[in-house]
Structure 1
Amino acid sequence: MGMPFHFVVGLPAVLMTPPLMMHGGDFWRDMPPGLATTLWAVGAAFLVALFVLHRMTRFPGTQASMYVVPLVSVVFATTWVLLLGAERFDEGVLWGGYAASLLWFFLGYAGVQRFRRPRFAVVPLGEARHLVETDGSGLYRLEVPRLGAQRIDGIVADLRSDALNQEWVRFLTKCTLNGIPVYQIRQIDESRTGRVRLEHLADTELTSLLPSPLYSTCKRGLDLCGALLLLPLLVPIMLATAWAIRHDSAGPALFVQWRMGYRGVPFRIYKFRSMYSEGECEGKGFTSGEDDPRITPVGKIIRKYRLDELPQLLNVLKGDMSFIGPRPESMDLSQWYEKDVPFFSYRHVVKPGISGWAQVEQGYAAEVDGMTVKLQYDFYYIKHFSLWLDVLILLRTLKTITTGFGAR
């Protein structure tokens, strides 16, 4: 199911099936009005969905089959809206192309995930000795610098290890010359865990991890458009949430707190109050768990489904936050983390977000050990800062909202 196969087999199949079923085999000779425009639109929608799925599957833990239905549905719905301005188009062929695309992508990616497991040969020297198998890939440990007859998708080695002698170096060079990819152990570690280990930053220039200025600018425009579109739709939910909070316990509906923001500049974050006002102030100390006595009955519900985060649309409009980015910490916790967690301040190189890579991968983290892992996720996000990662986080956030994973 590589890209060439999608182009050579998948695209013609998706384009030909709907008109053949609806108009018969002679539709090319007597093409109905608007059919050509519709076929161009179906082809474009298929390629857009293919491109996004291909980019998203580069990130750890991404099973393309899970995102086929929402992604293809959004792409074809957008295509349908755009075609409404055309003089004529064949709506039946368009939705037939949608069904064919769903079937092609779902069966194809699900089949790949089930029957083809990537297999890597490991040079058992240095850090690579400790590499363990995961559900997504298999490992074959080399005893000598020579490949056997079995299929290998790549070689994994610790290229900085002093134990890597000239014989192994010649073997890796030969593999590269023969088109077999050779991966540094840290590349594989990041691609399997979705984290950048802090000790790896010691030999990495921080300037190489600076996010793209172009995408940062584009992202601000996307944030503004998204907030302006969502705010009218979410106002009724926000009003109902505020009413429930006020009737559940004494105190204001909104909770306002200073947080550490972009480039270390403090800002005031807006949230719905989920704790008792007369108890310990929300944000000071740690949330001890789901049964924290400070949390109100309504607070448990709005935390689970992230309704307490809705007022942060105002922060997005003001430019303090983005929809996607590292979660901002309170000033007290930020100062504490800066003393105990190396490189903590570097997470402020991008704008904080309502949701982020750490939240969809790890959930809630408070203690220093948990915060260290969270910071590793944040560094992975900064290193791979892109539209495709943001789209993936957005889709996983929607799943998180419906399941309540990581809520406290």
Structure 2
Amino acid sequence: MSTLHGASMRRNGLGTAARSETIRRASRMIGWAAIGLVLFGINTALSEIAHHAGLVTHVFPRTLLWSIVPYLAAFVLLLRALHLPAMEGASIVGVATTLPFAMLLIAYAGFHVEYSRGAVLVGYITTLAWIWFGYRRYVQKYVPVFGYMEPETLQHLNRIIEMPGATPPGATRFEQINSIEDALHCDGILVERGMTADPARTRLLTQYKMGHLRMYSVERIGEMLTGRVGLDHIDENFFDDYANHYLFDYAKRLIDIAGVVVLAPLALPVGLVVALTVSLETPGGALFRQRRVGLFGKPFTMLKFRSMGVDKHAPAQFAARQDPRVTRVGRVIRKYRLDEIPQLWNVLVGDMSFIGPRPEQVPMVDEFTESIAYYPYRHLVRPGLSGWAQVQQGYVGTHAETVTKLSYDLYYVKHCSFALDLLIAVKTVRTLLTGYGAR
């Protein structure tokens, strides 16, 4: 039976050579991870020598040996994303490395295990450096290739990718394919779910699948390349993905409360300085209160430090670039997001979260709900201080850019996880340091 199966595979061109580039890159990264274990072996041997010389305690080499566990876990996380274009670069490597080591520290603290902070640091730096070199060599510098069978498929994908105000996707090539030989060098095959099935097409797709080639819907490829959800094809499966995050919401709420408690000693003095500066520049009080729409469409009062002059009759509108309403102090605190410090109170009471779609003003939500399909879906999760749309796109100023923002927000609603939250947090730090997207 196996001989006949092997002969059949060879007749169809599906032998061991018929492996996608994704599989080959995964094999190279696994080899890179195995070689990296040698570094840990050398580090452990050197730490044992240092221990016998009285330079470190016996805890140091033991801790360094345990660092192999998060090292391997970091490569597992990275391997799960190898079929994706290197859209986030250093952020992906940072998250894949930091998360396992953070879990190791939590395990040490939870089980009261004695460990060496220096050894954890050595293990972390070794893992970060080794993964980064491997990632750059096998992933980031590689331009992925996706095959498609019908021109309509590529046209559909272009409609998803080309949106106003969106971050452009990384370098990617698309090639039309007609046989298994054409597809062997591809990282994946685009499949149009709406195309009518026929025997010839079905047989070709079967060959691709048996050749270890990944099959993707156009919508899925669009999400992978852009970090956005295509708004022209949202079906009942969207709610299935959202339902899978039920328990995640409860755990995230506990993290939000703990985060506010940890940040309070720093946020309170900085907030007092900002409040005093705002009050001295213009009259009208330091705090600004505004009705925003939160979880499941429920309105709440969001707090901010006032960055504009007082105008109680001003209609709800976008903040423009070089907006004349913004004061001199306001321009600084908006650039570095210091005006949002009072929203820690909103997080504490449950109106908001640290990570989630930014809450919009009630009149704007009413307007967008009438003009943009699926807009209320962004309220399926708690709004946040920072979100996927903010770190990818920044502020929006037009109706078209709002549609693009919605595609980012719905991507978060669909794929929200601790890993994605951590990635957003890392990119938010960049935003705070550079003032990216401020108006």
Equivalent residue number for residue 396 of structure 1: 427
Equivalent residue number for residue 300 of structure 2: 267
1:56/1:229 CA distance change after superposition, 3 Å: farther
For 2:378, the aligned partner's letter is R
Equivalent residue number for residue 195 of structure 2: 161
Alpha-carbon deviation of 1:405? 1.4
Equivalent residue number for residue 138 of structure 2: 112
1:34 partnered with 2:79: no
1:247/1:337 CA distance change after superposition, 3 Å: same
Q: In 2, distance between residues paired with 1:355 and 1:361?
A: 11
Q: Deviations over 1:343-376 (max 9, x none)?
A: 2112111111111111111111142211111111
Does the residue aligned with 1:196 lie in a helix, a strand or coil?
A: coil
For 2:188, the aligned partner's letter is G
Q: In 2, distance between residues paired with 1:59 and 1:195?
A: 14
Alpha-carbon deviation of 1:120? 1.8
In structure 1, the gaps of 5 or more residues are none
Q: In 1, distance between residues paired with 2:192 and 2:174?
A: 15
1:371 partnered with 2:402: yes
Q: Deviations over 1:276-319 (max 9, x none)?
A: 014764x7222122x21110001111111111111110000000
Asked if structure 2 preserves the Cα contact closer than 8 Å seen for 1:52 and 1:388, the reply is no
Give TM-score scaled by structure 2 length: 0.81
1:191 partnered with 2:224: yes
Equivalent residue number for residue 284 of structure 1: 316
Equivalent residue number for residue 9 of structure 2: none
Match of 1:9 among 35, 42, 60: 35
Q: Deviations over 1:17-66 (max 9, x none)?
A: 22333445998xxx972255313432234245445555677877643434
Higher mean Cα deviation, 78-87 or 95-104? 78-87
Equivalent residue number for residue 417 of structure 2: 386
Identity percentage over the alignment? 33
For 2:371, the aligned partner's letter is D
For 2:193, the aligned partner's letter is L
Greater RCO (CA < 8 Å, at least 6 residues apart): 2
Aligned-residue RMSD, C-alpha: 3.2
For 1:195, the aligned partner's letter is R
Equivalent residue number for residue 140 of structure 1: 175
Does the residue aligned with 2:182 lie in a helix, a strand or coil?
A: coil
Equivalent residue number for residue 10 of structure 2: none
1:153/1:73 CA distance change after superposition, 3 Å: closer
Q: Deviations over 1:185-211 (max 9, x none)?
A: 11111211211122212x445532424
Aligned residues: 399
Q: Deviations over 1:226-258 (max 9, x none)?
A: 111111121111111111111111111110111
Give TM-score scaled by structure 1 length: 0.86
Match of 1:339 among 370, 384, 396: 370
Alpha-carbon deviation of 1:178? 2.7
In structure 2, the gaps of 5 or more residues are 1-24, 162-168
Alpha-carbon deviation of 1:264? 1.1
State how 1:220-299 maps to structure 2 within 5 Å: 220-278=253-311, 281=314, 284-289=316-321, 291-299=322-330
1:123 partnered with 2:123: no
